Amino acid sequence: MTISRHFCPFLTLFFTLIASVQAFTGTYGINYGRIANNIPSPDEVVTLLRAAKIRNVRIYDADHSVLKAFSGTGLEIVIGVTNGQLQDMSANSDHALSWVKDNVLSFLPETRIRGIAVGNEVLGGNDYSLFGLLLGAVKNIYNATKKLHLDELIQISTANSLSVFADSYPPSSCKFNDNVNQYMKPLLEFFQQIGSPFCLNAYPSLAYESDPEHIDINYALFQPTKGIYDPKYDLHYDNMLDAQIDAAYAALENAGFYKMEVIVTETGWASNGDQSEAGANVTNARTYNYNLRKRLAKKKGTPHRPNNVVKAYVFALFNENLKPGQGSEKNYGLFKADGSISYDVGFHGLNAGDSSLLSLKNFNSQGLSGSYIMVFSISSLILLTFWSW
Ligand SMILES: *[C@@H]1O[C@H](CO)[C@@H](O)[C@H](O)[C@H]1NC(C)=O
Ligand SMILES: *[C@@H]1O[C@H](CO)[C@@H](O)[C@H](O)[C@H]1NC(C)=O
């Protein structure tokens, strides 16, 4: 490459985008869960996401109808290896290679697959038989991306629930639970080597629900409150999500990982739930999701890590009528199954569609099949402008 990068800011941006393995651009993403038989089609989802200017999306599998619908849209997607596939992926590197070929390589570059989440909430979960399989599966999937020269494009990670932690109050005292430590440390060492972040599923709603007598709901909802004080850090927290993220940073530091970034791969609040689920109602769900959106738009770090801008994927896009478990599980959607909003956080439902969005889709799909590199870098710029808010 002989062009001076100094004089060519577009190319510099282009190479910056490619050079760092980043599955996330911007700060606001969404989980597109599909355990439902009544939600809009993947094509309609594209329309919905573009109208909402949500660019970062996660799915829990590698559904080909979704990957096809996302082709040429500019949406950036993280796909998943399910927990049920971990045994096979850890035991057979050739299966991992075929999986990456079939579900990633064959959709690139038109579908912007940017990450693979290997397993979901494995460590700290109920199925101990999976604990020992996770790292092997992660390594085989990573090796497959490397073999296919996709390791600079595709970020490998796994999402952790808060149950991997012990002593998370105050945040500075947090560490990994004894029962996950022996699996977590080698996993983090590998993630550190390949530059992957620590992915956290963080739900202030569940903390509130577990102790509604003592937890101030305003603290969980980003509403004005006196908050908490962390004496070791000498820091004040005015909302629980920031505290949960800093607890994850503390656990990482206590385990010797000082540089790893924490990304929130799920957070949300259910708009309905069982009698026993305190706080799961539409008022609180709207307040949480409205304030979360404002919090993320500030592009600010946490009290302990002010330079690590908080990035989060909201859970979830739709209410999912077939989700098992408590009533709340079916009611996390920002949108109802018919595509209308569950409550107003500034997004529009499907039927309030905007026809001008269609022209952008056409522009992009033409661009990607033409002079790929230049058009890609220019349309990235346009999209960065278009999606940023
Ligand atoms: C991954 O690939 C490297 C070299 O390409 C090899 O040394 C290593 O054993 C592989 N790891 C696994 C888990 O297959
Ligand atoms: C929602 O729950 C809060 C308590 O968390 C309660 O104060 C409020 O009245 C409830 N709102 C509705 C609409 O049920």
- Give the pLDDT score at 287: 98
Q: Which residue has the CA at smallest separation from atom 3 of ligand 2?
A: 279
Q: What is the pLDDT of residues 150-166, one digit of tens each?
A: 999 999 999 999 999 99
pLDDT at 3 exceeding the cut of 60? no
Report CA-CA distances (Å) from 3 to 9, 14, 143, 361: 11, 13, 32, 31
Q: pTM here? A: 0.86
What percentage of the chain's residues is helix, strand, coil (to nearest 5)?
45, 15, 40
Pocket of ligand 1, beta carbon within 6 A:
93, 139-140, 143
Share of the chain above pLDDT 90, in %: 83
Compute, in angstroms, the gap from residue 143 CA to the centroid of ligand 1.
6
Residues 329-348, mean pLDDT to the nearest whole number: 97
Q: Is 222 left (phi over 0), alpha (psi -120 to 50) or beta?
A: left
- The class (CATH top level) of 5-387 is alpha beta
pLDDT at 12 exceeding the cut of 80? no
Q: Which residue has the CA at smallest separation from atom 4 of ligand 2?
A: 279
- Best residue among 92, 95, 135, 139 to mutate for probing ligand 1's pocket (most ligand atoms within 8 Å of CB) is 139
Cβ atoms within 10 A of the Cβ of 29, count? 26
Q: What is the pLDDT of residues 175-191, one digit of tens each?
A: 999 999 999 999 999 99
What are residue 286's phi and psi, to 5 degrees? -65, -45
Per-residue pLDDT band at 23 (split at 50, 70, 90): confident
Contact 3, 14 (CB under 8 A): no
Residue 68 parent element (H or E): helix 64-69
- Give the pLDDT score at 147: 98
Virtual torsion, Cα 1, 115, 384, 269, nearest 10 deg: -160
Residues 321-336, mean pLDDT to the nearest whole number: 97
Q: E strands of 177-316, at which residues?
A: 198-201, 228-230, 235-237, 262-267, 312-314
What amino acid positions are annotated as catalytic residues? Answer: 121, 266
| 112-120/155-161 β-pairing | parallel
Among 80-84, 196-200, 213-217, 378-382, the range scoring the smallest mean pLDDT is 378-382
Contact 224, 218 (CB under 8 A): yes
- Give the pLDDT score at 358: 39
Number of the ligand 2 atom closest to the C-alpha atom of 217: 5
Q: Which ligand is nearest to the CA of 280?
A: 2
By three-state DSSP, how is residue 57 classified? strand
What the block records as the tokens of 4 is: 């001076």
Q: Which residue has the CA at smallest separation from atom 6 of ligand 2?
A: 279
Compute, in angstroms, the gap from residue 26 CA to the centroid of ligand 2.
32
Distance CA 185, CA 334 (A): 35
Residues 270-282, mean pLDDT to the nearest whole number: 97
Per-residue pLDDT band at 22 (split at 50, 70, 90): confident
Number of the ligand 2 atom closest to the C-alpha atom of 212: 5
